[in-house]
A and B are shown apart, each in its own frame.
Chain A
Amino acid sequence: MADQPLWEVFVRARRGLSHVHVGSLHAADAEHALRNARDLYTRRQEGVSVWVVPAASISASAPEDKDAFFDPAEDKVYRHPTFYPVPEGVEHL
């Protein structure tokens, strides 16, 4: 079963939060991947919803592009939402 494709797993911890990448696994197809994800990544009540995505479908930025991609944002403080007060009681911000 080593030749089974790789899948990336995303779990939503609870309603109102978004799915977060938690890891990867091998599975023959999407149905199998969902079940494996349930068994591997939600056994300690980590989630209420699971997504699986074929790892091959993910396009990732290349490590060598890091400087061009990310460094220019370093000195643009005005892009951060820090110039207005956050109302009290707002969670998950």
Chain B
Amino acid sequence: MSGRENGSVSAERDTALAAYTLRLGDDALVASHRLAELAARGPQLEEDVALANISLDLLGQARSLLTYAGSLEERLTGVLRTEDDLAYLRDEDQFANCRLVELPNTDFAYTVARQLLFSAYQFELYTALAGSADETLAGIAGKAVKEVAYHRDHASGWTVRLGDGTEESSERMAAALEAAWPYTAELFTSDAVFRSVAASGLGADPPDLRPAWDVFVDGVLAEAGLARPEVPPITGPAGMGGRQGVHTEAFGYLLAEMQHLHRSHPGAAW
């Protein structure tokens, strides 16, 4: 094999790894922001702090992942984008997060449903990534998996409490799950980027994460006395979704709030 071919194979691998890391970082960032919106607005003081803790865990993951994505990108393009550039200076269609994490906090059950489905996904993802051939990703995932184990436990506890609670709490929990469910298919949809990082042992192919996720989520739903929603996936135009930069209507409003300060006062610091 000639040197040029080696170079192009490695460039393709690096391109996929950068795109993959950006997706993981965007997932964590947007999930973090949705929870941060509830700071000082939680259903009780104790839960307010719990949600803020989880939000901060996710923000820490987002910072590590976006910083790493920026440095991988720099190797390819020669231009560095910092974590702040990536978080605050990209527009909606440049974000590659799954749409599940951007769903609004319609009521507390919606927050719980989103957190249950997402943290169960992140748990399987980080468990797999802890064995990544990429040392940086393996390190980030190894630390994050402990955090996410608690996020999953927290959301499971609330799902059972609400699902197996009063008639009203059970109805609300079921409604919230049904609203979030159509966006779970996207978590397990593969494409060229995912297949590339999986083939090179750097990342996980989403469909491989599904069986364990199914077992866990089904177990929680059974304990909560809730049925697994029977609703079809929602996809954007031409089958595209968050990974391709096609987001839900609510996402633009989320970004407007998240990015406003940085864009109005570039470089603002505490």
Contacts and interface: CB of A to CB of B under 8 A. Distances in A.
Interface of A: 1-2, 4, 25-28, 31-32, 35-36, 38-40, 43
Nearest to B160: A31
B157 to A, nearest CB: 6
Contact of B46 (A27, A31, A43): A27
Nearest to B165: A28
Contact of B49 (A1, A26, A31, A40): A40
A21 B168 CA distance: 36
Contacts, number: 32
A31 B157 contact: yes
> Which label, helix, strand, loop or mixed, suits the secondary structure of the B interface?
helix
Contacts of A1: 43-44, 47
B161 interface: yes
A32 B157 CA distance: 8
B147 to A, nearest CB: 12
Q: How large is the interface on B (under 10, 10 to 19, 20 to 34, 35 or more residues)?
A: 10 to 19
Given A32-B157, A32-B161, A35-B157, A25 B46 contact: yes
Given A31-B157, A32-B157, A32-B161, A26 B53 contact: no
Given A26-B44, A35-B157, A43-B49, 12 more contacts: A1-B43, A2-B44, A25-B46, A27-B46, A28-B161, A32-B157, A32-B161, A35-B154, A39-B49, A39-B50, A40-B49, A40-B50
B50 A35 contact: yes
A88 to B, nearest CB: 40
21 contacts: A1-B44, A1-B47, A2-B44, A4-B44, A25-B46, A26-B44, A28-B161, A31-B157, A32-B157, A32-B161, A35-B50, A35-B154, A35-B157, A36-B47, A36-B50, A39-B46, A39-B50, A39-B53, A40-B46, A43-B49, A43-B53
Contacts of A38: 150
Nearest to B51: A39
Nearest to B56: A43
B40 to A, nearest CB: 15
